[in-house]
């Protein structure tokens, strides 16, 4: 089954404790992206990657890091999480052509206390 | 910069009534436009997309949208609402000025369907 898998689905942690949210896709997609969803703001793009070792900032990259060492994986790293990063996070993948839709994971709900 | 505006954060319709969800975008060139639906505790699923060609686009579950360049709009419609249509709907634009790799989403419209 074609899917984008995120882990964990839920996480409660404390300010300053480094965390990683993993994302993996099995569709051989070149393009992967991270979004955060906040009430009234829709989805905002954090980082995206056009292919292995190629990443770029979205609209809200501050406080986040990403890496793309393998085509299928695109982890999101919060080196020193803060309460304003409490949000619902989605990973997505797609073909590189900009007229192609994205396939989304089921989301990771992060609470930073 | 590109922006997407969805008019109405909440829309309520009766079962069987017309569904109309509004989306306007800002772009100096025709963008690539998408509608996604999000059911509770799930990720987003593609409803339909406009790239080029016919301006009336049909999607899944009986939804369709019409691209109107003169109005910079891409409104989503369904002739007859069903209870299962209750969800949150997002309009999105691919920003071709950055090679299309940035995607801008609207704030979303939550659709309620009354029995």
Q: Give 10-residue mean pLDDT values along chain A (113 residues).
A: 94 96 96 94 92 92 96 97 97 82 93 96
Token code pair at residue B110: 């939550």
* Chain A residues lying within 8 Å of B30, measured CB to CB: none
Residue B101 to chain A, least CA–CA distance (Å): 6
Residue B107's closest CA among B26, B23, B47?
Answer: B23
Check whether B21 has a pLDDT greater than 80. yes
For residue range B43-79, list pLDDT tens digits in order.
899 999 988 788 899 999 999 999 998 899 999 999 9
Q: Does A10 touch chain B (CB under 8 A)?
A: no
Tell me the average pLDDT across B8-27: 94
Check whether B28 has a pLDDT greater than 70. no
Paired strand residues for A78 = A19
* Residue B83 DSSP SS3: helix
* Chain B residues lying within 8 Å of A105, measured CB to CB: 43
DSSP-based helix, strand, coil % in chain A, nearest 5: 5, 50, 45
A99 contacts B100? CB cut-off 8 A: yes
Token code pair at residue A5: 């898998």
User: Nearest Cβ partner of B102 from A45, A96, A99?
Assistant: A45
In the prediction, which pLDDT does B98 show?
Answer: 63
Q: Are A23 and A76 in contact (CB under 8 A)?
A: yes
Looking at A69-78, B14-23, B91-100, which range is the least confident one?
A: B91-100
Q: Are B60 and B87 in contact (CB under 8 A)?
A: no
Residue A59's closest CA among B96, B3, B42?
Answer: B3
Q: Are A107 and A6 in contact (CB under 8 A)?
A: yes
In the prediction, which pLDDT does B100 show?
Answer: 59
- Please enumerate in sequence order all residues whose Cβ is within 8 A of that of A39, keeping only pairs 6 or more positions apart, or say none: none
* Chain A residues lying within 8 Å of B100, measured CB to CB: 97-99
Residues in chain A, how many? Answer: 113
Minimum CA–CA partner of A106 in chain B: B43
Using alpha carbons, list the distances in angstroms from residue B57 to A73, A97, B92: 33, 19, 15
Q: Which of residues 19-58 of A touch B (CB under 8 A)?
A: 31, 33, 35, 40-45, 48, 50, 56, 58
A101 contacts B108? CB cut-off 8 A: no
């Amino acid at each position: 089954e074609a899917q984008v898998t995120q882990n964990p689905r839920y996480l409660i942690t404390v300010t300053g404790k480094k965390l990683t949210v993993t994302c993996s896709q099995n569709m051989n997609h070149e393009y992967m992206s991270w979004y955060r969803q906040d009430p009234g703001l829709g989805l905002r793009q954090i980082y995206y990657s056009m292919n292995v070792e190629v990443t770029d900032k979205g609209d809200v990259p501050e406080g986040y890091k990403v890496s793309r060492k393998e085509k299928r994986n695109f982890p999101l790293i919060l080196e020193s999480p803060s309460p304003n990063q409490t949000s619902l996070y989605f990973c997505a993948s797609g073909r590189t052509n900009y007229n192609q839709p994205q396939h989304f994971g089921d989301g990771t709900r992060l609470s930073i206390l | 910069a590109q922006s997407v505006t969805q008019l109405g954060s909440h829309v309520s319709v009766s079962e069987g009534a017309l569904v109309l969800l509004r989306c306007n975008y800002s772009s100096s060139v025709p963008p690539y436009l998408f509608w996604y639906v999000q059911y509770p505790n799930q990720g987003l699923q593609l409803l339909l997309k406009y790239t080029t060609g016919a301006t009336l686009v049909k999607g899944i579950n009986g939804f369709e949208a019409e691209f109107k360049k003169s109005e910079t709009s891409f409104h989503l419609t369904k002739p007859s609402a069903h209870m299962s249509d209750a969800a949150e709907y997002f309009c999105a634009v691919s920003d071709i000025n950055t090679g299309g790799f940035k995607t801008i989403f609207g704030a979303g419209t939550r659709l309620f369907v009354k029995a």
